[in-house]
Amino acid sequence: HSAQAPLPPGPRLLPFVGNAFDIDVSKPWLTYANWKEKYGDLVYSRVLGQHFIIISSMKVARDLLDKRSAIYSNRPVLRAYEEFGISSTTATLSYGDTLRRHRKLYHDVLNAEASAGYHDLFLRKAHQLVVNLLSAPEGVEDHLEMYAGSVVIAASYGYEASSEGDPLIGCTREAVEIVKNVMAPERATVMMAFPFLEYLPSWFPGVTYRRWAPYCKELTRRMMDEPFEIAKKTTTGAGRPSSMVANFLRENGDISSPEEEFIKVVAISASIAGTETVRPCSRYVRQSLIILHPKTVSALHTFLLAMLLHPDVQSRAVAEINTVCGDNIPNFEHKPSLPYIEAICREVLRWQPVTPLGLPHATSQDDVYEGYFIPKGTLIMTALRALSRDERLYSEAHRFDPQRHLTAEGKLNDGSTFAYGFGRRICPGRHFADLSLWAAVVSILSTTRITKAKDSEGMDIPVIPEYTTGLAIHPKPFAYAITIINSRREEQMRVVSGME
Ligand code: HEM
């Protein structure tokens, strides 16, 4: 029957190239927003013979990605994944047994209950984060990355990373020096982040990124082997912490090399998907590894930006914390009594979706939806950015307003989120990410105030939110100031985090 059904509406296709020249390569979500206006919530586009569908509403996303997940859970197979040595990481795997095994391992250490086992770790690292921000505010990205990186490394490998001497950190530091000389990062990011570029001919700007592929492949190898070897040593014996690697080794005993390879890939997938692991790595390696991105880091950076722009939100949050916690440092037992803090976390993820177009899905068979034909092998982009600005879901959607997640009684509403994607590919780190976000947010708010920085004349330096581009985006650096608002808590944090 599919032969009779038309393709979904979309922009006019040129012969051969299709819509290759219609797309704003640096910010494709702007092009897609435009198409949504003209053609609706389900748009068809084509680039060099590859079918694309862009989903721009929660309803269509749920109908297809959730309800028909048996068809919509594949990933595109891109030759760049292979060239860069990342075709077997979780986020790039096709749907099938291997992916299911990966996701099972994630589930064991990152599900809601297991994530709760990291409460102490989250808080300890969050307190370190506060201390670091206060002592070197200009190093904000490093501090956020250290925070997000160390909690994920602990969950995957069971050891605590330190900024000195960690193998992930070491190998990526070294890489930076070489890599930054051979490639233009902006282009490479764009190239790798937006799969449609894959289909463009080699004369198209940006293709130079390929030169760098073999080195990247070698680097991924090292990133897989080195932390694993540490984990193997530190996870034997009694009292070893639960981690993805430890659980796997415990269950499988002496493992053969294919098995070892398997767990290495899963563990590194978590580290690179969950954080940017470490800064140097982030800058350059992530630009070629499509999945390497600072999702938690980006969310926390957006949080700081939102606080700077909304002193009223900060004041209300502090008042809530003081009422519930007195002079104590907030901990997870306080969480149910701090709905406004959680509303802030939700609003951060809604206001500036970390992945404006999610990660691309692909169909594994032909389908028909609302009378439209969706061919097998179609690449599905979910315009999370469009969902975040959808007035049908959020009134005054461009405004940062945590209140929208609360009921009239001040309780959290059951609003669903799109930030973690959909269906069988939904982010397996979402519980873990939510909790790590919460710990950092509550620790920062309870102890410090984020304000605009002053210029030499004592005037506020204005801040206009600006974001990078790519698969996952983050705020461009902005001037800010951070001051202590509760020195009792600040002192306790120094003690607790061992940074006295
Ligand atoms: C604020 C933080 C985070 C955000 C906003 C986020 C968001 C996302 C999104 C949108 C996807 C794509 C889902 C889809 O295809 O429909 C994804 C996939 C993924 N995320 Fe996250 N994530 C975050 C943190 C994490 C963390 C902490 C981890 C690991 C510890 C993680 C591991 C992964 C993995 C492995 C995938 C690929 C799953 C698959 O392809 O089946 N993420 N994430």
Regarding the beta carbon of 265 and ligand 1, being less than 6 Å apart is answered: no
Return the pLDDT at 341: 98
Note the pLDDT tens digit of each residue in 321-362: 999 999 999 999 999 999 999 999 999 999 999 988 888 899
Return the pLDDT at 83: 63
Can you tell me the ipTM of this complex?
0.99
Return the pLDDT at 296: 86
CA of 289 to the centre of ligand 1 (A): 14
* Nearest atom within ligand 1 for CA of residue 425: 41
Residue whose CA is closest, atom 21 of ligand 1? 427
Task: Identify the structural domains of the chain with CATH numbers, from first to last.
Answer: 28-496 (1.10.630.10)
Low-confidence ranges of the chain (pLDDT < 50): 1, 172-192, 202-207, 274-293
Which of 66, 295, 425 to mutate to test ligand 1, by most ligand atoms within 8 A of the CB atom?
295
Which of 344, 420, 438 to mutate to test ligand 1, by most ligand atoms within 8 A of the CB atom?
420
CA of 277 to the centre of ligand 1 (A): 14
Note the pLDDT tens digit of each residue in 137-170: 998 988 887 788 778 777 777 766 665 555 555 5
Which amino acids are annotated as binding site for heme, given as ranges? Answer: 427
CA of 111 to the centre of ligand 1 (A): 13
Residue whose CA is closest, atom 13 of ligand 1? 421
Return the pLDDT at 213: 62
Regarding the beta carbon of 299 and ligand 1, being less than 6 Å apart is answered: yes
Label each residue of the chain as H, E or C: CCCCCCCCCCCCCECCCECCCCCCCCCHHHHHHHHHHHHCCEEEEEECCEEEEEECCHHHHHHHHHCCHHHHCECCCCHHHHHCCCCCCHHHCCCCHHHHHHHHHHHHHHCHHHHHCCHHHHHHHHHHHHHHHHHCHHHHHHHHHHHHHHHHHHHHHCCCCCCCCCHHHHHHHHHHHHHHHHCCHHHHHHHHHCHHHHHCCCCCCCHHHHHHHHHHHHHHHHHHHHHHHHHHHHCCCCCCCCCHHHHHHHHHCCCCHHHHHHHHHHHHHHHHHHCCCCHHHHHHHHHHCCCCCCHHHHHHHHHHHHHHHCHHHHHHHHHHHHHHHCCCCCCHHHHHHCHHHHHHHHHHHHHCCCCCCCCCEECCCCEEECCEEECCCCEEEECHHHHHCCCCCCCCCCCCCHHHHECCCCCECCCCCCCCCCHHHCCCCHHHHHHHHHHHHHHHHHHEEEECCECCCCCECCCCCCECCCCCCCECCCCCEEEECCHHHHHHHHHHCCCC
Return the pLDDT at 276: 40
Return the pLDDT at 289: 35
Regarding the beta carbon of 292 and ligand 1, being less than 6 Å apart is answered: no
Residue whose CA is closest, atom 14 of ligand 1? 421
Which amino acids are annotated as binding site, given as ranges? Answer: 427
Return the pLDDT at 106: 84
Residue whose CA is closest, atom 17 of ligand 1? 427
